[in-house]
Amino acid sequence: MTVQEKLTANVVVDTNPATGTAVAELSETNLDALPQMLDKARQAQAIWATKSFKERARHIQMMRSYIVDRADDLARTISESNGKTLTDALATEVLPCALACKWYAKNAEHYLKERNRPVGSILFFNKRTHMLRVPLGVVGIISPWNYPLSIPFGEIVMALMAGNGIMLKVAAATPAVGRAIEQIVAAGELPEGLFQHIVGSGSKVATGFFDNGIDKLFFTGSVAAGKTLMAQAAKTLTPVSLELGGNDPMLVLEDADLERATNGAAWGGYQNAGQSCGGVERVYVVDAVYDQFVDLLAKKTRQLRHGIGCNGFDVDIGSLTTAGQLRTVQQHVEDALAKGARIEAQSRPVGNVENGFFFPATLLTQVTDDMLTMCDETFGPLIAVQRVANEEEAIRKANDSNLALTSSVWTKDNKRGRAIAAQLQTGVTTLNDHLYSHGLSETPWGGWKESGIGRTHGPEGLEEMTQAKVVNWDTLPSKRNIFWYPFDQATYNGIKNALLFVFPSGVGQWLSASLKLTPFLVKKMFTGWKTGD
C-alpha cells in the first residue's frame, strides 16, 4: 500500500476567521503512514545531499518565480485562512518568502562550505583541520497560524539549501496555506518525497516525529507547547529549535521623534491583529513626553479600521485567527480594566464584523506591572503604555520578564540607543523601528529566557540546519604522537619541555626547552615502537 493510499477519509476544514465561511477542505494524514513517509524522505535526502549548492539554488529560484508570479493568489489564500488583510499578507508573508529564496540561494554556500581551521599551537604544527557543515537528514517543522506562510517557508528554504529533507506540519487553523506551500515547493521540482506536508494534530505529529527518529524539530508556538516538546525530545536526545513568543517592550526616550515613534507603535502593536510574537505589547515612555506620545497614538488608533481583510483595501486590521485567541485578548483587557487601566482609544469597525473573531485595536493607559497584559503575552491588538521617570526605569521594567524575544529603543541619538540596546535582555533590539527584522533573511531570529532556544534565519539559521563535523589529519608521515605509548622518563621530560617551549618564563628557558624538545620529537615521531620481538 502506498503512502497516498493510506490517507484517511477524515477531512479538515479551513474556515475564514473573519467571516465564518469555509475556504478549503483537506484530507487528514493517516499517521500510521509516517514511518513510510520518513523512509521515503530519507531516500530522497540522500540524493539531494549530493547536489551542489548551485544545483540546490536552481530549485529554490524556481520556487521564487512561482511566488512572484502568484503573489496575489497567495496573499488571498493567507488572508482568507488567517484573517489578516491582503496588504499584511503580501508585505509580511509573500514578499519575505521571495526575499528568503534569493538570499539563501545566493549565500548558503558561503556560510556552509568547507573551511580551514588554523593551527592553534605550534605543538600541533603537523596537523590540519577542516570544518564541515553536514546536513542533519530529515527535519520536522511544526509552524503556527499567525504567519502561516513566511514562518515555515523560511525554514523550508534553509533546510533545503543545507541539504535536508523536510516533514512539514502547519497549524490546524490554517491548512489551506499548507496546501499553498505544497504548490510552491512542487514548482521547485525536488526529488520525490524530499518534502512532505502532514495534515493533522500537532501533538500527535510531534510524537510521531520523535518516535520515528526525526533528525531535528523546528517548532514555533506557545511556551507551554515548547516545554512539552522539549521534554519529549529529551527521551531520544532529539535536537530542537524553539521559538516561543514574547511580551516585547518598546522604550520611548525624551528625544524620540514622536511622529515616527507613534507610527511604529501602531504598526508594531496592531499589525496582524497583534498576533506577532515580536510585536509591541509594553510601551515605556519617559515622563517628559508621555502625555504627548499618548495623545498622538490615541488619535492614530482611532483612525484605524478593523474589518474583513480579504474583501478589499479599506481595512487596516483584520480579525484574530482563533476563538481561543479572542478570549485571551478579552480576558487581558478585562483584567486590566478591573485593576485600574483605562482605554484611551480603539479602532473603528468597517463592514460586518459580527461573524468573525474581531477585537478593536485598543490603547491602554494607567497600566500597572501586575496586569496580565504586562506580565504575559497577549497576542492581540492591544498596546499598554506606562509612564516611567527615566531610561534606567524603562530598562529595568523592560527586562523584568520571563520572555525575551525582541525590543526597541526610540531616540534620535543612535549612540545612546545602541548603548541601551546592549542592556536589554532580548534576542533582537531595533532602534526607531519594530517588528521587521524577521523579514531580513540575513539576521538571526530567536530569543532568550522562555522565548525559546536556537536560532532561525541568517547564517546562524543555516548552521542550525546542519551538524558540525571536524576532519583532521597529519601532514607528516610520523609513526607516533609524542604523548603515545610507550611511557618512560624521556616521555615525561619531553612533554614537560614542550610545555616550557610554549609557555616559557623567559628567553633562556625557551632556548633550553627547544634544544631538548627537538631531538625528543624526532625520536618519538619518526621511530617505531620497539617491541623487542
- Using CA atoms, how far apart are residues 425 and 402, in angstroms rounded to an integer? 10
Question: Does 334 participate in catalysis according to the annotation?
Answer: no
User: What number of other Cβ atoms are within 10 A of residue 103's Cβ?
Assistant: 19
- Using CA atoms, how far apart are residues 267 and 271, in angstroms rounded to an integer? 5
Query: 3-class DSSP state for residue 441?
Result: coil
CA dist 425 to 203, 244, 261, 373, Å?
Answer: 31, 15, 21, 19
The set of cell numbers assigned to 187 is 514548482
Strand duo 406-410 + 428-431: pairing: parallel
- Report DSSP state, residue 53: H
- Using CA atoms, how far apart are residues 141 and 139, in angstroms rounded to an integer? 7
The set of cell numbers assigned to 229 is 516538546
The set of cell numbers assigned to 323 is 476563538
CA dist 278 to 111, 142, 219, 437, Å?
Answer: 26, 18, 16, 9
From start to end of 75-126, where are the E strands?
Answer: 115-117
User: With left for phi above 0 and alpha for psi between -120 and 50, is residue 431 left, alpha or beta?
Assistant: beta
> Taking every pair of C-alpha atoms in the chain, what is the biggest distance, in angstroms?
97
DSSP calls for 166-227? EEEE--TT-HHHHHHHHHHHHHT-PPTTSEEEE-S-HHHHHHHHHHTT-SEEEEES-HHHHH
Report whether 501 contacts 510 (CB < 8 A): yes
- Using CA atoms, how far apart are residues 307 and 18, in angstroms rounded to an integer? 8
Cβ neighbours of residue 67 closer than 8 Å, sequence gap 6 or more: 74, 94, 97, 98, 101, 184
Q: Which amino acid is at 311?
A: N
Q: Which amino acid is at 247?
A: N
Report whether 517 contacts 494 (CB < 8 A): yes
Question: Considering 80, 93, 155, 243, which one is annotated as catalytic?
Answer: 243
- Using CA atoms, how far apart are residues 149 and 461, in angstroms rounded to an integer? 17
70 class by beta-carbon count within 10 Å (0-12 exposed, 13-18 middle, 19+ buried):
middle
Q: Which residues are part of the catalytic machinery? A: 243
